[in-house]
Amino acid sequence: MLKMIENAKQVLRIEAAALQAMAERIDENFCQAVTKILACQGRVVVSGMGKSGLICQKIAATMASTGTPAFFLHPAEGIHGDLGMLMKGDVLIAVSNSGETEEIIRILPVIKRMGLPLIAMTGKPHSALARSADVLLDIGVTEEACPLGLAPTASTTATLAMGDALAVALLLERGFREEDFALFHPGGALGKRLLLRVEDLMHCGEEVPMAHLGTPLKEALFEITSKKLGITGVGNDRGELVGVFTDGDLRRTIEKGFDALARPIGEIMTRCPKRILRSALAAEAVQVMEEHAITSLFVFDAEDRDVPVGIIHLHDLLKAGVV
C-alpha cells in the first residue's frame, strides 16, 4: 500500500513540475494567441487526435461556456469532409505533442488556403506543426508520469492547463461576468441563482393570502390554512400591506389564551413585514429570508410598494433549486 501511495504522489509531482515549468515559459506568444482569438470574427476551432483530441474537446467546451464561441473538429473526420465546418473568420488551435500527427498535418494546407490563423500547441518547437503556425504555444514536458514514457500523462495535463489559461485570459479580456456564465448554464445551480427572478416563482392573484385589519383572528385563520403558506398578509381599506400574521404568531397568541381568537387581526399582527420587489433575483429572496429567519416575503412592483402583487415562500425557492 505504501508503494502505491508513493507512486501516486510521484505522478502528481511530475505533473506539477511540468505545469510549473510551462508557467515559466509563458511569454508574448501567449499574448499573441489571445489577441488573435479576440480578433476572431468566427469561431475558435480546436483540433487534435487521440488523447490530445479528448483534451481539445474540453478546451473547446470551456471556451464556449466562457464567452468564446468554439467547437472541436476531429482531424480524421476533417480530411473526409468535416473541414466544411470551417469558415472565413475562424481561428484554428491545432494540438499535437509531437507536432507531427499525420491527420493534423494533412489539414494544414486547407487551413493555409482559407487564410485562417493557426495557433499550434505542441511540445516540439521545431516540428512541422510548429513551423506552419502563426503562433506557437510550447506545451513540452521533460518527462511523462507514465513510467514507460508511453501513455500521455504530464503532456496532456500541460495541454489542458494551457487551454484553461487561454480560456481564462479571454474571459478576463472580454469582461465576462457571472451573469453571462449563467446565461450559458440555465440548467445549472448557478444559472438558477442568477437568472430566476422572484416574479418567476411567486404566487399571485387568488393564491395570495390577505386579511383585512378588522377581521377577527378566528376568521383570518381560514386564509392561512386555505392558502397553505403558513402566513397571511394584513391589509387596510386601500389593500396596502400593513402587517403579517404567521403560524408562529398563532402559537404565541394561543399561549396567551383562546380569547385572542375573537380579537381583530390588526391588533396582534406583526407590523413592518419584510418585502421584496418582483424584479429581484430569487437568490436575493433567499438572502432576505435567511437574514431575518423567515420563510415568506410579500412581493411588490417597483411602481407601487404598498399593495402586494404576490408572495414567495421558501418552499418555492427550494423546489426551483435556488437554495
CA dist 222 → 74, 115, 134 (Å): 65, 74, 75
Contact call for residues 223 and 209 (beta carbons, < 8 A): yes
Give the tens place of pLDDT for each residue, 262-309.
Answer: 789 988 898 989 999 999 988 899 999 999 999 999 999 988 888 999
CATH fit for domain 2-176, picks 3.40.50.10490, 3.30.950.10, 2.40.100.10, 3.10.180.10: 3.40.50.10490
Q: Which residue has the cell 480524421?
A: 76
Pull the grid cell for residue 305: 410598494
Q: Residues of 24-55 as b/e, b for ≥16 C-beta within 10 angstroms?
A: eeeeebbebbbebbeebeebbbbbbbebbbeb
CATH placement of domain 198-320: 3.10.580.10
pLDDT of amino acid 248: 83
Reference 211, options 231, 226, 232, 227; nearest CA is 232
Between CA 170 and CA 175 the distance in angstroms is 9
pLDDT band at 39 (very low <50, low <70, confident <90, very high): very high
Local confidence band at 148 (pLDDT 50, 70, 90 cut-offs): confident
Which has more pLDDT, 34 or 261? Answer: 34
Residue 111: pLDDT band (50, 70, 90) is: very high
User: For the chain, what is the mean pLDDT?
Assistant: 89
What's the CA gap between 132 and 320, in Å, rounded? 51
**pLDDT mean over 169-194:** 70
Distance CA 297, CA 246 (A): 12
β-pair type (91-95, 310-313): unpaired
> Which residue type, as a one-letter code, is found at position 88?
K
Domain residue spans of the chain: 2-176, 198-320
